[in-house]
A = this chain, B = another copy of it.
């Protein structure tokens, strides 16, 4: 499916030199060659990967990491900002997402600097923050409606740039999306909101007066792009006349950004063997035996899934990389798998020893079961494997996902398998 992106959508959508909003095709699908149905399939596939990567980000945030992601979504009424929240953010664990919507400032907010309410709403470490509207309103509606004079809003572009620079320097990835509908499409969508009894709550009598200032808003957006699209926090301008395209593009850009963070599961600050020994004191021998019986397949499943995510990520990241980079990435993944499997072997060894101490009978019975399992699984038992194991397709996924996610995960697993085989052939 990835091949449907002719290029990294960040390159296709980033505001560059000489960007001309008035000539921008708002029904286009820059960089993407598929249709709506292909987009839906790719969304589900990427959603599964995004969800995995988001969990790693969250885990790092909970373990002392300071990195996070801020997604800013701007656009006029009906552009589809809510759809990004619902359909993109809706794919990941709600615990990992912080949504904030910025409407007309309250009296308290107005009494502070315009960035005050924005700074207060920044996502905590490990989270993906989504701003539905943002500080950019302070150079958009504020300018168009002349809420403050030009000498007040004019310096804000530079101020915003500086502030965003400080965010990025502190480890936040700032992704800025502007959703651009055409004037005609906005009219049709507003009419639908008036016509549909289940959508009337989305319509406001202020929407029409705002629509009448269309040209002023286009000019204000144009200046935002020209003056605040920076190397560290560029604007991505999304054609929004087709609802599916911006959702797909945001999903892809968010996923690629997380891939580039190269997120790993955080290392604990405690010693697993010591904690295990203490925990066992609170368990019966039967419980320990039951836990031991599951260990190999559960942990191996988790390792396989983790490796699959790494392989899928590498495939996307290395889409246009040279062979050397690809090989080096695969070698890193293989080496990490090897480390994890060594860790599993150590775990099994300790648990067997602990069970032996508690109940030699259960330990003997358990050893028989484990041997049986090892025979069935062949090389999968995790001991004494070489690093080529990373290129072996995984046979079992851990059962932790929801059924819907599982389906998409399955697909990506198949893709990953194919990719591995392809690479294995080329490499030899």
By beta carbon, the residue of chain B nearest A309 is B198
Q: Are A62 and B299 in contact (CB under 8 A)?
A: no
A174-203 vs B, Cβ < 8 Å mask (1 yes, 0 no):
000000000110011011101111111111
Which residues between 331 and 357 of chain A lie within 8 Å of chain B, taking CB atoms?
A: 340, 343-344, 347, 351
Q: Name, among A87, A283, A284, A303, the residue most crowded by chain B CB atoms within 10 Å (CB to CB).
A: A283
Interface residues of A, dominant DSSP: helix
* A195 lies within 8 A of B275 (CB): no
Is the Cβ of A347 less than 8 Å from the Cβ of B184?
no
Which residues of B lie under 8 Å from residue A94 when comparing CB positions?
85-86, 89-90, 94, 97, 99
Residue among B59, B86, B93, B267 making CB contact with A86, cutoff 8 Å:
B93
Does A424 interact with chain B (Cβ within 8 Å)? no
A402 contact from B87, B89, B351, Cβ within 8 A: B87
Of the 9-residue stretches A141-149, A159-167, A204-212, which lies at the interface with chain B?
A204-212
Give the oligomeric copy count.
2
A265 at the interface (CB under 8 A from B): yes
| B187 & A299 in contact (Cβ 8 Å cutoff) | no
Q: Is the beta-carbon distance between A279 and B205 smaller than 8 angstroms?
A: no
A72 to chain B, nearest CB (A): 16
Interface residue? A359 (CB, 8 A):
no
Nearest Cβ on chain B to A215's Cβ, whole angstroms? 12
Residues of chain B with a CB closer than 8 A to A184's CB: 283-284, 287
Q: Which residue of B lies closest to A37 (CB)?
A: B403
- Please list 8 pairs of residues, one from A and one from B, whose beta carbons are closer than 8 Å in the complex, sorted by A's number: A40-B403, A44-B404, A85-B93, A90-B93, A184-B284, A194-B272, A200-B266, A200-B267
